Amino acid sequence: MNSLHDRHKAVIPDWVALYYQDPIEITHGEGRYVWDADGNRYLDFFGGILTTMTAHALPEVAKAVAEQAGRIIHSSTLYLNRPMVELAERIADLSGIPDARVFFTTSGTEANDTALLLATAYRGSNQILAMRNSYHGRSFSTVGITGNRAWSPTGLSPLQTLYVHGGVRTRGPFAQYTDERFIDACVADLEDLLGHTRDVAALIAEPIQGVGGFTSPPDGMYAAFRRVLDRHGILWISDEVQTGWGRTGDHFWGWQAHGEAGPPDLLTFAKGIGNGMSVGGVVGRAEIMNCLDANSISTFGGSPVTMAAGLANLAYLQEHDLQSNARRVGRLLIERLRAAAADVDCVREVRGRGLMIGIELTRPGTDRPNPEAASAVLEAAREAGLLIGKGGGHHTTALRIAPPLSLTAAEAEEGAAILQQALRAARNKGA
């Protein structure tokens, strides 16, 4: 009989990547742990790509899903939907955006796609500013604004995209500057870029770049950008698919690290709010959200079952103050990982905020990426019972660490100890 891996390769496209030389089938989970089909237990430091935000098999979410499914599973946006309205009310209030409207989708890709539709329709322009090293999804439009070549399979796009400096603090032409001078240089680059174009619709930016390796600018940079954008009437879209819901610890939304200029015009979200259920969406100012002059619906966005999950998950997050836990345990984990990596010559940087941590790997003695080391660390960590992710741009390789926000200090220590051994085992890879 063929293995599940063989069956996967026979029917799934080659570009759908699998982790590990011997891929695992995850069968169930509880709390911060998951088990594979062979009965092996793993501490989960990646949470289904930052999606299992609170915990695996969270009883409150499972109960809400089962109860709603027992009443009705689906109706579409053509009918009034109480769970959808209730979650929209909560998100509108939490967003900080005045007179906000919310539209639900089924993924972060679709959320960003919708935000681009709204921004271009509102501004009457198909020109978009995006950040270098960014990632915004896999649809035709979002691939076209993704500034990470490894995740952009085509140069064709319905949009004209212009890329701005600033998403990566420790690489590029401004890396050696102080934070203040770095921001000034990036603003000058933005001003210069806008001097060569007209009628740009929006800037879309991740406060912390996710797929790009958990890189970020200095706090306040997007506030400085916002002052420039406002002079030109350009909208600001904050892509909070990975940074939202308190994951960064210091803030509920990533944009709040740049909050002196106020909330963004549009904010996109997904992943963590559903805790594994397919929930995404856009929240924005009413005048922008209401600007479409044609009919539009969503068949599956705002499904009663996914909305029930989102409501239960958000309630658990707030009632247990998981944002504060992410800040406290995240600081402990970052300190522990920096100490663990101090004598590993292929580690260039340990960076992050809250429970969103990146470890950049390079070839020893150089600034060149080290994908061999990243793969070796992934494999060694898995063998020792820890699941992590990886990412980075064309010129970087990074390990991505993003556990559920309920992670305990003891679990952080457990994972850090495994990573320390995995890093040491991989130190000579790619030399």
In this prediction, residue 396 carries a pLDDT of: 81
Q: Look at the domain 61-319 and name its fold.
A: Aspartate Aminotransferase; domain 2 (3.40.640)
Length of the chain: 431
- Residues paired with residue 29 on neighbouring β-strands, in sequence order: 34
The sheet with strand 280-285 has its strands ordered as 100-105, 280-285, 266-269, 235-239, 202-205, 127-131, 160-164
Decide: 382 and 20 in contact? Cβ < 8 Å.
Answer: yes
List per-residue pLDDT tens for the chain, 431 residues long. Answer: 689 999 999 999 999 999 999 999 999 999 999 999 999 999 999 999 999 999 999 999 999 999 999 999 999 999 999 999 999 999 999 999 999 999 999 999 999 999 999 999 999 999 999 999 999 999 999 999 999 988 888 888 899 999 999 999 999 999 999 999 999 999 999 999 999 998 999 999 999 999 999 999 999 999 999 999 999 999 999 999 999 999 999 999 999 999 887 999 999 999 999 999 999 999 999 999 999 999 999 999 999 999 999 999 999 999 999 999 999 999 999 999 999 999 999 999 999 999 999 999 999 989 999 999 999 999 999 999 999 999 987 678 999 999 999 999 999 999 999 999 999 988 766 55
Give the Cα separation of 37 and 131 in Å (integer). Answer: 40
Beta strands in 332-404 (DSSP E): 347-352, 357-361, 386-387, 389-391, 398-401
In this prediction, residue 428 carries a pLDDT of: 64
Give the Cα separation of 386 and 246 in Å (integer). Answer: 23
CB-based contacts of 87, cutoff 8 Å, min separation 6: 102, 104, 307, 310, 311, 314
In this prediction, residue 1 carries a pLDDT of: 61
| 322: nearest Cα among 282, 275, 276 | 275
Architecture of domain 4-54+322-425: Alpha-Beta Complex (3.90)
Give the Cα separation of 152 and 140 in Å (integer). Answer: 10
Beta strands in 160-315 (DSSP E): 160-164, 202-205, 235-239, 266-269, 280-285
Ramachandran region, residue 84 (left: φ > 0; alpha: ψ -120 to 50; beta: rest): alpha
Element (H, E) at 131: strand 127-131
In this prediction, residue 142 carries a pLDDT of: 94
CB-based contacts of 268, cutoff 8 Å, min separation 6: 108, 111, 112, 114, 115, 237, 238, 239, 240, 241, 280, 281, 282
CB-based burial label for 418 (10 Å; 0-12, 13-18, 19+): buried
In this prediction, residue 13 carries a pLDDT of: 97
What Rg, from alpha-carbon coordinates, does the chain have? 21
Indicate the residue type of 335: E
Give me the residue spans of the domains in the chain: 4-54+322-425, 61-319
- CA distance to 10, 81, 377, per residue, from 349 (Å): 39, 47, 15
Give the Cα separation of 101 and 88 in Å (integer). Answer: 8
Number of H helices, E strands in the chain: 13, 15
